Amino acid sequence: MASFTQRMIGAARLDVATYEEVEADKTATGQALAVVFLSALAAGIGGAATGGARGFVGYLFAALLAWVAWALVTWVIGTKVLPSPQTQSNMGELLRTIGFASSPGLFRVFAFIPVLGWVIEFLVWVWMLATFVVAVRQALDYTSTGRAVVVCAIGWLVALGVVVLTAFVLGQSVGLLGAMMGH
């Protein structure tokens, strides 16, 4: 069994074996949630550079809410609306895989870098979308990556809505929206 760090690296590298391992390991749920929290913390730290303490809290809160929304919608769409004939999954399996799929989010801590911050955010967003697709494909036993892309895209749109609402409620700048779209 791989260590916590090895699992994070494997997930970030889109390693199917890593996703299969964490899907099957019921004791990895705490680790997966730790990855989600660390990713959100990194977003908060990155956001603090432009928004101070309010930016930190806003980014952290929005990242966590967006992840929860994405997870719930992904589970419903993936298991109830668009399951494949071989889909056999539960919320725990999905939470573990998509929790580790948040591993690239740790790089959001570098969003504070002038001029490059938005590039880093965008690249992390693309990277996390790819890790989520692999995580969903493995957790929901899809044979089609296309089906996983559709499920992730629907969940991403709902997560984006959560981010927009959170930014509105907290009175955050448009920068929060751009940064959090990566989650």
Cβ(148)–Cβ(131) under 8 Å?
A: no
Closest by Cα among 127, 133, 128, 146 to 16: 133
- The 10s digit of each residue's pLDDT in 7-49 is 999 999 999 999 999 999 999 999 999 999 999 999 889 888 7
pTM of the model: 0.86
Please state, rounded to an integer, the average pLDDT across all residues of the chain.
87
Asked whether the predicted pLDDT for residue 174 surpasses 80, the reply is no
pLDDT score at 170: 66
pLDDT score at 171: 63
In this prediction, residue 107 has a pLDDT band, given cuts at 50, 70 and 90, of very high
Span 94-103, average pLDDT: 96
Cβ(161)–Cβ(101) under 8 Å?
A: no
Neighbours of 100 (CB within 10 A): 27
Name 87's Cβ contacts closer than 8 Å, sequence gap at least 6: 78, 79, 140, 141, 142
**CA–CA dist 165, 177 (Å, integer):** 10
In this prediction, residue 61 has a pLDDT band, given cuts at 50, 70 and 90, of confident
